[in-house]
């Protein structure tokens, strides 16, 4: 066997990424009744990926445009895309935009934006060194920040006993964290729990953050997906923008993977919102963000940005997109209601109202790892080990069967 | 009021270290060009192909692939972290299939590939992987090299050290200096090599010189990173331009080299610039190591961007797998290369015969690919920019920016700044 310059001891085999690994096991599973409740991608009522009608229309328009080409985008990305994206999250009448306080750069979807945020914080933020993430949070959050040498702390979020928000614990962590710490907040449709603070809870949370001069870092991957309304789902971000105006900067990582179904096209934006307008600082920030992009990608991918830009900047397409969001979110809501009522009518031990109070793509079912393993092994129902189920994977064709399977594994567990 | 201003000062100080970064030298040039109102302006900055009207050219093969894709694309789902299995198997076939040693490496499971965010992204991932798993942090880079090479490598935590490459006297290769520097280098160093059409000089080693270089690479157990961004622009035939890659495969097959890595781009040869599609390869000791390496590659990529953009890769898959479209692509590359060769000849003719410029311009004809290292001084470059001819400060011009309607203005401008 050939030898290698790479030391064998230094390159251990890693287990596959939990989410991509789950997908791989599901794909390899030959059972016809298998159900994929793993990866966070929307599925229609037939369990198929759904290309949004607004996307199809936008693509048609793009291809018919004689100016369509494959030229490089500027380093900061497609400007029509990033500025329209800012309006989506901040509101087109946002004071932050009127005051010209926002710096935006295109990124490789949400992960790319988080990566830029991590690098930017590591290099330039002179506040506390730790990044506070919710317990639990999206698995990849930890790697994104740790690989850039940032220290991770967690704040209480999901109360495993009550399946509710541990507001007291959350506020306690905000208050005890060193001043100027970074707090990673899920803008809406918390991943993996689906549990979002209420509006009054957000007001308390943001108030506590402001008091400690923390840096709020919003991860917005599901705007429009949670309630069906872009405006409703932006409440937390816009509240922070209003409340921190004049005192604290805010960072926002924005993904269009789910709400425009751009998964593989990787369309995202990173926004830096100044406390107050500071042209010199904002120019410096933009130049450094461009430098980050240049040294890793040169410039971001064009196609997805063009599609989203087309939608956001064409009123008829924007209106279609808003309808598409209602289509997706209402089907998910329907599935939540159906699953809950199935479990309740089966008399499955436990309480199941959290399924309908949670919102967005995911539900933290409350199932334990052994129960999840049993679901996968014995019933071909694939959930993430934490008990996270993708509600988009449910449809009228499988919800009854999955409810029965859940019922079985819960009853078996209670026998032990 | 006091609380507000204290808070303001304290909070603007959290970004106190954010200095204005200088504009990117190459991409910043286009910004200046766009602002210029001179109708005779010429952009010789970015290495992006232009047709004879100075317009971006969408390759007919890519237009055909796009049509097929619009009819067959089923969804916009995530592709796997390293790209789709179809993309990877097509890439392996495309890059290694025409070489017996290359194919044997693939067959014995010694080649790990991944989709990359064009050449830049592929290099970035290779740099991070090397930093994580290779004990030596030093990367030998040709002097000069693409400016972004240094940035990518150093931002990934590697150190760069130049090796002699360009001979400013002859405007050719300083092969003696190159070989000396390689022989003096620390054993096991990483070495960055341009597979063809060196950027920025356009000067490539001859095949015989490559053999000499590879001999030293082997003796010093260097770990090569081969960067291939201009495949097809050396001879006009993308497969023939794999000759240097095949030499590396031969060396590995002969047991004289254990590993090498490749970063590869479709930005120029398929005109897919903004779609950001390319690939990386890592040659390992065998199947077992490949499995481990692939898992670690996924770990490197996942926290940077999760998975690569799909549109460009889907177009590449169609071009590489559809025989008629592939045949068209080979023609398209030849069209681009022929035009670049013609423009070199035309500019040379204008300089020497029309304007009787006294300088030696042989290198214009001998250098290969998209760029020419003119040999102009920074002052002469500055004077050219004053005449609305945009090129980078090192005197590099992109031949792609020259066309029949502007070559006379260009030749006249060069003549004026070199005889002033």
| Domain containing residue B270: CATH number | 3.40.640.10
Please give the pLDDT value at position B87: 98
Q: Residue A15: which pLDDT band, with cuts at 50, 70 and 90? A: confident
CB < 8 Å to B16, chain A: 126
Contact A253, B298 (CB under 8 A): no
Contact A270, A252 (CB under 8 A): yes
pLDDT of residue B411 exceeding 70, the answer is yes
Nearest to A109 by CA among A360, A312, A314, A305: A305
Please give the pLDDT value at position B386: 95
Q: Residue A12: which pLDDT band, with cuts at 50, 70 and 90? A: confident
Please give the pLDDT value at position A19: 78
Do B51 and B141 lie in one domain? The reply is: no
CA distance B189 to A193: 48
Q: Which two tokens stand for residue A143?
A: 């790697």
Coil, strand, or helix at residue B63? helix
Of the three residues B321, B354, B376, the one that is the final residue of a domain is B321
Mean pLDDT score across all residues of chain A? 94
- What residues contact B124, with CB distance under 8 A and at least 6 apart? A295, A296, A297, B117, B152, B156, B304
CB < 8 Å to B54, chain A: none
Q: Is A124 close to B275, i.e. CB distance below 8 A?
A: no
Please give the pLDDT value at position B10: 39
Write the pLDDT tens digit of every residue in A126-145. Answer: 876 799 999 999 989 999 99
pLDDT of residue A9 exceeding 60, the answer is no
CB < 8 Å to B19, chain A: 284, 288
Q: Residue B31: which pLDDT band, with cuts at 50, 70 and 90? A: confident
Q: Residue A24: which pLDDT band, with cuts at 50, 70 and 90? A: confident
* Interface with chain A: mutation pick from B14, B87, B115, B190, highest number of A CBs within 10 Å: B14
Q: Chain B residue with minimal CA distance to A245?
A: B8
Q: Is the peptide bond before A192 cis (omega within 30 degrees of 0)?
A: yes
Q: Chain A residue with minimal CA distance to B119?
A: A297
A400: closest CA of chain B, how far (Å): 26
B126: closest CA of chain A, how far (Å): 11
As for how many domains chain B has, the answer is 2
Q: Which residues pair with B377 in a beta bridge?
A: none
How many Cα atoms occupy the beta-carbon half-sphere of B178 within 13 Å? 26
By Cβ distance, the residue of B70, B258, B303 closest to A4 is B258
pLDDT of residue B12 exceeding 70, the answer is no
Evaluate whether residue B299 is within a structural domain: yes
Contact A68, A61 (CB under 8 A): no
B6 at interface of A, judged by CB pairs closer than 8 A: no
CB < 8 Å to B292, chain A: 11-14
CA dihedral A188, A310, B310, A30 (to 10 degrees): 60
pLDDT of residue B9 exceeding 60, the answer is no
Of the three residues B321, B351, B383, the one that is the final residue of a domain is B321
Evaluate whether residue B211 is within a structural domain: yes
Do B279 and B377 lie in one domain? The reply is: no
Write the pLDDT tens digit of every residue in A311-365. Answer: 999 999 999 999 999 999 999 999 999 999 999 999 999 999 999 999 999 999 9
Please give the pLDDT value at position A128: 64
Do B313 and B237 lie in one domain? The reply is: yes
Residue contacts between A and B (CB atoms, under 8 Å) = 252
A297-309: string of b/e by CB count within 10 Å (b at 16+)? bbbbbbbbbbbbb
Looking at residues B25-44, what average pLDDT do you find?
89
B236 at interface of A, judged by CB pairs closer than 8 A: no
- Domains of chain A plus CATH, in order, are 18-50+329-410 (3.90.1150.10), 72-313 (3.40.640.10)
Looking at residues B132-138, what average pLDDT do you find?
94
A29 is catalytic: no
pLDDT of residue B293 exceeding 60, the answer is yes
Nearest to A251 by CA among A146, A120, A140: A120
Please give the pLDDT value at position A11: 78
Do B47 and B183 lie in one domain? The reply is: no
Evaluate whether residue B305 is within a structural domain: yes
Q: Is A180 close to B77, i.e. CB distance below 8 A?
A: no
Q: Which two tokens stand for residue B377?
A: 């001084």
Please give the pLDDT value at position A2: 55
CB < 8 Å to B87, chain A: none
Do B185 and B242 lie in one domain? The reply is: yes
Please give the pLDDT value at position B21: 82
Please give the pLDDT value at position A416: 63
Q: ipTM value of the model?
A: 0.94
CA distance B149 to A318: 41
Residue B118 lies in domain = 78-321
Please give the pLDDT value at position B215: 98
Evaluate whether residue B117 is within a structural domain: yes
A407: closest CA of chain B, how far (Å): 31
By Cβ distance, the residue of A127, A287, A295 closest to B14 is A127
CB < 8 Å to B125, chain A: none
Q: Which of A234-238, A335-339, B18-22, B383-387 is least confident?
A: B18-22
Of the three residues B321, B352, B367, the one that is the final residue of a domain is B321
CB < 8 Å to A20, chain B: 80-81, 298
pLDDT of residue B3 exceeding 60, the answer is no
Question: What sign results for the dihedral spanned by CA atoms B73, B78, B80, B83?
Answer: positive
B134 at interface of A, judged by CB pairs closer than 8 A: yes
Contact A204, A240 (CB under 8 A): no
Please give the pLDDT value at position B5: 34
Mean pLDDT score across all residues of chain B? 93
Q: Which residues pair with A132 in a beta bridge?
A: A153, A183
Q: Which residues pair with B226 in a beta bridge?
A: B193, B262
CA distance A199 to B204: 64
Which residue has 């030849």 as its token pair? B334
B10 at interface of A, judged by CB pairs closer than 8 A: yes
Cα–Cα distance list, B352 to B8, B13, B179, B371 (Å): 64, 59, 34, 19
Q: Which of A9-18, A177-186, A315-324, B175-184 is least confident?
A: A9-18
Evaluate whether residue B6 is within a structural domain: no
Q: Tell me what percent of the residues of chain A surpass a pLDDT of 90.
A: 90
Coil, strand, or helix at residue B225? strand
Write the pLDDT tens digit of every residue in A268-315. Answer: 999 999 999 999 999 999 999 999 999 999 999 999 999 999 999 999
> Could you tell me the CATH number of the domain that includes residue B354?
3.90.1150.10
Looking at residues B304-331, what average pLDDT do you find?
98
Contact A288, A36 (CB under 8 A): no
Contact A150, A172 (CB under 8 A): no
CA distance B171 to A95: 57
pLDDT of residue B328 exceeding 80, the answer is yes
pLDDT of residue B2 exceeding 80, the answer is no
Evaluate whether residue B7 is within a structural domain: no
Please give the pLDDT value at position B325: 98
Write the pLDDT tens digit of every residue in B245-270. Answer: 999 999 999 999 999 999 999 999 99
**A166, A219, A233, A245: the active-site residue:** A219
Do B251 and B132 lie in one domain? The reply is: yes
A60 is catalytic: no
Contact B220, B183 (CB under 8 A): yes
pLDDT of residue A82 exceeding 80, the answer is yes
B299 at interface of A, judged by CB pairs closer than 8 A: yes
Q: Is B117 close to A297, i.e. CB distance below 8 A?
A: yes
B165: closest CA of chain A, how far (Å): 23
For chain B positions 66-85, those within 8 Å of chain A (CB to CB) are 66, 70, 74-81
Please give the pLDDT value at position A1: 46
Do B152 and B207 lie in one domain? The reply is: yes
pLDDT of residue A39 exceeding 90, the answer is no
pLDDT of residue A8 exceeding 60, the answer is no
pTM of the model: 0.94
Evaluate whether residue B47 is within a structural domain: yes
Q: Which two tokens stand for residue A288?
A: 């450094």
Sort B207 into a burial class: Cβ within 10 Å, 0-12 / 13-18 / 19+.
exposed
- What residues contact B197, with CB distance under 8 A and at least 6 apart? B204, B229, B230, B233, B234, B368, B369, B370, B371
Task: Give the length of chain A.
Answer: 416
B184 is catalytic: no
Evaluate whether residue B344 is within a structural domain: yes
Sort A118 into a burial class: Cβ within 10 Å, 0-12 / 13-18 / 19+.
buried
């Amino acid at each position: 066997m050939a030898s290698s310059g790479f030391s064998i001891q230094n390159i251990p085999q890693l287990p596959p990424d939990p989410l991509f690994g789950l997908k791989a096991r599901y794909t390899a599973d030959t059972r016809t009744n298998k159900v994929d409740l793993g990866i966070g991608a929307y599925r229609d009522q037939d369990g198929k990926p759904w290309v949004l009608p607004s996307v199809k229309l936008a693509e048609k328009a793009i291809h018919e445009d004689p100016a369509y080409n494959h030229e490089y985008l500027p380093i900061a990305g497609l400007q029509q895309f990033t500025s329209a994206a800012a309006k989506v999250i901040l509101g087109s009448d946002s004071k932050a935009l009127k005051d010209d306080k926002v710096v935006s750069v295109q990124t490789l979807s949400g992960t790319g934006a988080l990566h830029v945020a991590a690098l930017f914080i590591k290099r330039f933020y002179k506040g506390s060194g730790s990044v506070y993430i919710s317990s639990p949070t999206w698995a990849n959050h930890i790697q994104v920040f740790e690989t850039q040498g940032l220290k991770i702390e967690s704040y209480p979020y999901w109360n495993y006993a009550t399946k509710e928000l541990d507001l007291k614990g959350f506020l306690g962590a905000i208050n005890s964290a060193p001043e100027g710490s970074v707090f990673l907040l899920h803008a809406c449709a918390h991943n993996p729990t689906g549990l979002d603070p209420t509006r009054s809870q957000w007001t308390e949370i943001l108030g506590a953050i402001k008091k400690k001069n923390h840096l709020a870092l919003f991860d917005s991957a599901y705007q429009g997906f949670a309630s069906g309304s872009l405006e409703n789902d932006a409440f937390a971000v816009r509240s922070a923008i209003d409340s921190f105006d004049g005192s604290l900067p805010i960072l926002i990582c924005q993904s269009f993977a789910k709400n425009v179904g751009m998964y593989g096209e990787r369309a995202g934006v990173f926004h830096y919102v100044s406390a107050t307008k500071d042209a010199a600082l904002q120019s410096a920030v933009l130049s450094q963000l461009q430098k980050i992009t240049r040294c890793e990608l040169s410039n971001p991918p064009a196609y997805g940005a063009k599609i989203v830009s087309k939608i956001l900047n064409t009123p008829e397409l924007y209106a279609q997109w808003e309808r598409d969001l209602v289509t997706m979110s209402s089907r998910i809501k329907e599935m939540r209601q159906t699953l809950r009522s199935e479990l309740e009518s089966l008399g499955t031990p436990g309480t199941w109202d959290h399924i309908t109070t949670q919102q967005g793509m995911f539900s933290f079912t409350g199932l334990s790892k052994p129960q999840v393993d049993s679901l996968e092994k014995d019933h071909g129902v694939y959930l993430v080990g934490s008990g996270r189920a993708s509600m988009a994977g449910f449809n009228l064709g499988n919800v009854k069967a999955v409810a029965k399977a859940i019922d079985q594994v819960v009853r078996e567990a209670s026998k032990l | 009021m006091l609380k507000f201003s204290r808070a303001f000062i304290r909070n603007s100080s959290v970004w106190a270290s954010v200095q204005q970064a200088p504009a990117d030298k190459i991409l910043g040039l286009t910004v200046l060009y766009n602002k210029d109102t001179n109708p005779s302006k010429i952009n010789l900055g970015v290495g992006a192909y232009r047709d004879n009207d100075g317009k971006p050219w969408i390759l007919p093969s890519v237009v055909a692939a796009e049509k097929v894709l619009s009819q067959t694309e089923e969804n916009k789902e995530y592709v796997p972290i390293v790209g789709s299995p179809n993309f990877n198997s097509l890439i392996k076939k495309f890059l290694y299939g025409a070489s017996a040693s290359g194919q044997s490496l693939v067959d014995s499971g010694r080649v790990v590939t991944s989709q990359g965010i064009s050449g830049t992204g592929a290099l970035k991932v290779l740099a991070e992987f090397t930093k994580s798993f290779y004990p030596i942090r030093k990367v030998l880079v040709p002097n000069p090299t693409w400016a972004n090479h240094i940035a990518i490598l150093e931002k990934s935590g590697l150190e760069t050290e130049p090796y002699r490459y360009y001979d400013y006297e002859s405007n050719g290769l300083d092969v003696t200096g190159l070989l000396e520097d390689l022989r003096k280098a620390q054993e096991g160093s990483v070495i960055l090599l341009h597979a063809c059409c060196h950027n920025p000089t356009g000067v490539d080693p001859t095949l015989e010189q490559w053999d000499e270089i590879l001999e030293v690479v082997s003796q010093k157990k260097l770990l090569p990173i081969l960067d291939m961004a201009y495949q097809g622009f050396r001879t006009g035939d993308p497969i023939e331009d794999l000759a240097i890659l095949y030499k590396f495969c031969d060396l590995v097959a002969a047991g004289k080299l254990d590993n090498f890595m490749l970063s590869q781009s479709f930005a120029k040869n398929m005109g897919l610039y903004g779609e950001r599609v390319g690939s990386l390869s890592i040659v390992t000791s065998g199947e077992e190591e490949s499995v481990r390496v692939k898992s670690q590659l996924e770990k490197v990529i996942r926290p940077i961007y999760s998975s690569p953009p799909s549109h460009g890769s889907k177009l590449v898959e169609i071009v590489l797998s559809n025989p008629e479209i592939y045949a068209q692509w080979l023609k398209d590359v030849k069209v681009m290369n022929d035009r670049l060769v013609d423009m070199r000849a035309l500019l040379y003719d204008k300089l020497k015969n029309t304007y009787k410029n006294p300088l030696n311009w042989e290198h214009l004809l001998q250098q290969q690919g998209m760029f020419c290292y003119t040999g102009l001084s920074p002052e002469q470059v500055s004077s050219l920019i004053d005449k609305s001819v945009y090129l980078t400060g090192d005197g590099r011009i992109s031949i792609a920016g020259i066309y029949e309607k502007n070559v006379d203005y260009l030749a006249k401008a060069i003549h004026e700044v070199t005889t002033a």
